[in-house]
Amino acid sequence: MREKEIRSWRAPEFWLVVVMLLVLTALVFIVLWMPFDSSETGVGTMPTPEKLKTEDLETEDLLKYNEDLLEYNKSIFEYNKDLLEYRKTILTVIVTAFGAWVGAGAAYFFSRENVRETAESMLKMREPTPREILLKTPIREIPPREIRWTVKVTDTLEGVLEKLKAVPTYWFIPVVDDKGRLDTVIEEEAVWRFVDKESENKTPYEEIKKKKISDMLAYLDMEKKLKKKVIDKFVSVTMDESAGHANELMQKKDCSVAIVVNEKGKPTHFLTTGDVREVLLRVG
C-alpha cells in the first residue's frame, strides 16, 4: 500500500494537475489585481476648480463644478461596471478551461490507476504457468542428485575406467583442483575417444590406464572440435538458485547438466535437463 502511495505522488499526471492549479491561481490573482484607478485607464481626473483653492466659488462655478463631478462619478461607475464585467468574463473562461483541463488530467490519472489495479488483480487471480513455478522453485526442492565421485588432473585413467564400467549411469566426470573446488567437467565420451586414440598409436592397454587426466586434457587441446563437445559442457549453480534459472543457463550454454557447488566452490550435487522436464510435468 505504501508503494502505491509513493507511486501516485511521483506520477507525472499528479504533478501536471498541481501545475495546472498553480497556473490557475496565478491567472486569477492577475485578473483580480487589475487596477480600479481611473487615472490608469484614461477615465480622467477628478475636476477641481482653481478658485476653490483661493476664494469662494460663485453660484455658476459651483453648478459647473457639480455637473463635472457628477459626470466624473458617472464615468467612474461605468468604468467599474465594465471592468467587473470584464473580470467576470475572463474568470469564467479561465475557470471553465482549467476545470476541463484539470478534470481531464485527473480522469486520466485515476483511470490509469484503475487499469493498473485491475491488471494486478487479474494477474493475482491467474494461475502461474509451469515456467513461473519453476523460476520460484529452489533447486534444493527438486531435489538434485548427489555427486559421489570427482577426480583430479593428477589421477590416472585406471580409476576412471573402472568407475565408468562399474556404474554405467555415470556419463560425466567432475574435475576438481587440489582444494576440491570444481575446475571443469569432462563427458564420458572424451575418455573413450582418448583410449581409442592411444590404441591406434599401439599403446598397450596397461600403459593407457597409467596415463593421467592431464594427458587426456592435453590430447583434447589438440582436438579442438572434440573439445567443444566434451569439456566444459556444464553450468555452475547453488542450492538457493531456482530450477528455472538453472534450466535457462543450460539452454543458453547448450548443455544438459548443472553442477551444484557449495560456498567453497566444491561440487556437491547435479541437476540435468531431464530432471527439469520431470518437474515441469509434475506442475504442468
Q: Report the CATH number at residue 273.
A: 3.10.580.10
Task: Average the pLDDT over 212-221 and give the result.
Answer: 95
Pair 201, 261 in one domain? yes
Residue 130 within any structural domain of the chain: no
Bridge partner residues of 231 (DSSP):
186
Please check whether residues 160 and 249 belong to one and the same domain: yes
Q: Which of 84, 104, 125 is the last residue of a domain?
A: 125
> What does each C-alpha distance from 20 to 89, 96, 155, 170 come to in angstroms?
20, 13, 78, 72
The model's confidence at residue 112, banded by pLDDT at 50, 70 and 90, is confident
Closest CA to 279 of 145, 140, 132, 142: 142
Residue 80: half-sphere exposure toward Cβ, Cα within 13 Å = 8
Same domain (yes/no): 162, 202: yes
> Cα 171 to chain center, whole Å?
41
Looking at per-residue confidence, does 194 or 128 come out higher?
194
Query: Within this chain, do residues 99 and 192 fall inside the same structural domain, yes or no?
Result: no
* 117 and 240 co-located in one domain: no
Q: Do 269 and 200 share a domain, yes or no?
A: yes
Q: Note whether 107 and 173 are same-domain residues.
A: no
116 and 246, same domain (yes or no): no
Q: Which domain holds residue 15?
A: 2-125
Does 121 fall in a domain? Answer: yes
Find out whether the peptide bond into 138 is cis, omega within 30 degrees of 0: no
pLDDT-derived band at 118 (thresholds 50, 70, 90) equals confident
Q: Are residues 118 and 250 in the same domain?
A: no
The total number of structural domains that make up the chain: 2
